[in-house]
């Protein structure tokens, strides 16, 4: 790791008044959750338009729901890693929410609850831009439910009879406007945006670090390789999130 980048990153974290952290699939890679675009990533074995789109859900709901049931079972075996836990401790210590994730694996929430113990986990709970695969949402009335195992019949909402589908943003679906507004507000108020484990190619999430930059703040990137954001970062720390974050944040 280049010494100057590391020293700059440490100084920016130490001096920051308001921090937002944007995470992507890379922070969960060390927990065994496949990323999207790395070799062997999730999309390598499927084409997004086959499964994670509203059209696919309408055309063949059972296949889409079975794929998500498979992803849920794969995730059940995954645990938050040292990177998730270091981020949770960081925001618990600061006492103010600032964690925004693109991930739907729920590992930031589990890390927050584990690190907070009996205290309030609120400051470390993530804003989930793309939802969470551990929850269902009714396609009709939007009611949310804890995910349940997929039975023979398609899961229906008890209130309106609509299809219960994973509470995730499918390709082509809009993000929840309130969620996005909150994330944008945090990005604009922050003087430091930590960008961790994301290829920063999917919008509107990828616009958040730029909002911090435009408001006069800095970007610190933690990634195992360069991304489209690397040149905009004041410090780019090359390394795995599970190793870098405890050293950078604790």
Instruction: List the interface residues with ligand APR, window 167-196 (CB under 6 A).
Output: none
Closest residue to ligand APR, Cβ-based? 26
Q: Which of 117, 174, 203, 225 binds ligand APR (CB under 6 A)?
A: 225
Q: Are 26 and 224 in contact (CB under 8 A)?
A: yes
Nearer to ligand APR by Cβ, of 142 and 204: the residue is 204
Q: How many CA atoms lie within 13 A of 120 on its CB side?
A: 6
- CA quadruple 79, 156, 47, 101: dihedral positive or negative? negative
CA 5 to chain centre: 24
**In the complex, least distance from residue 207 CB atom to ligand APR, rounded to whole angstroms:** 13
Nearer to ligand APR by Cβ, of 111 and 241: the residue is 241
Q: Are 130 and 168 in contact (CB under 8 A)?
A: yes
Q: Which of 126, 131, 134, 197 binds ligand APR (CB under 6 A)?
A: 197
108 counts as catalytic: no
Active-site annotation holder among 84, 108, 130, 218: 130
Query: 11: burial class by Cβ within 10 Å (0-12, 13-18, 19+)?
Result: middle
Best CA proximity match to 96, nearest among 177, 186, 180, 9: 186
# chain residues binding ligand APR, by CB under 6 A = 23
- Residue 77 CB neighbour total at 10 angstroms: 9
Nearer to ligand APR by Cβ, of 24 and 217: the residue is 24
245 binds ligand APR per the rule CB under 6 A: no
Strands 127-128 and 99-101: parallel
Nearer to ligand APR by Cβ, of 109 and 223: the residue is 223
**In the complex, least distance from residue 13 CB atom to ligand APR, rounded to whole angstroms:** 16
Q: Phi, psi (5° rounding) for residue 249?
A: -105, -30
Instruction: List the interface residues with ligand APR, window 13-52 (CB under 6 A).
Output: 24-26, 29-30, 35-38, 41
**In the complex, least distance from residue 92 CB atom to ligand APR, rounded to whole angstroms:** 22
- Residue 59 CB neighbour total at 10 angstroms: 11
Binding site for ligand APR (CB under 6 A): 24-26, 29-30, 35-38, 41, 102, 130, 197-199, 202, 222-225, 227, 240-241
Residues acting as catalytic residues? 130
């Amino acid at each position: 790791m280049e010494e100057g980048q590391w020293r700059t990153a440490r100084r920016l974290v130490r001096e920051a008044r308001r921090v937002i952290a944007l995470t992507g699939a890379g922070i969960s890679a060390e927990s065994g959750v496949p990323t999207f675009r790395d070799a062997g990533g999730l999309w390598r074995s499927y084409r997004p338009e086959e499964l994670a789109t509203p059209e696919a859900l309408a055309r063949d709901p059972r296949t889409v729901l079975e794929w998500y049931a498979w992803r849920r079972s794969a995730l059940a075996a995954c645990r938050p890693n040292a990177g998730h836990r270091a981020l949770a401790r960081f925001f618990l210590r600061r006492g103010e929410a600032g964690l925004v994730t693109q991930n739907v694996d729920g590992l930031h929430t589990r890390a927050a609850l584990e690190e907070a113990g009996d205290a309030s986990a609120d400051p470390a709970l993530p804003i989930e831009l793309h939802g969470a695969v551990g929850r269902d949402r009714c396609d009709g009335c939007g009611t949310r439910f804890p995910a349940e195992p997929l039975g023979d019949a398609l899961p229906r909402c008890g209130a309106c009879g609509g299809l219960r589908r994973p509470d995730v943003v499918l390709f082509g679906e809009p993000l929840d406007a309130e969620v996005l507004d909150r994330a944008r507000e945090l990005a604009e108020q922050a003087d430091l945006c930590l960008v961790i484990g994301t290829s920063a190619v999917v919008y509107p999430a990828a616009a958040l670090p730029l909002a911090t930059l435009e408001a006069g703040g800095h970007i610190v990137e933690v990634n195992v390789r360069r991304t489209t954001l690397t040149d905009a970062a004041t410090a780019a720390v090359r390394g795995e999130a599970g190793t870098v974050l405890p050293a950078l944040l604790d």
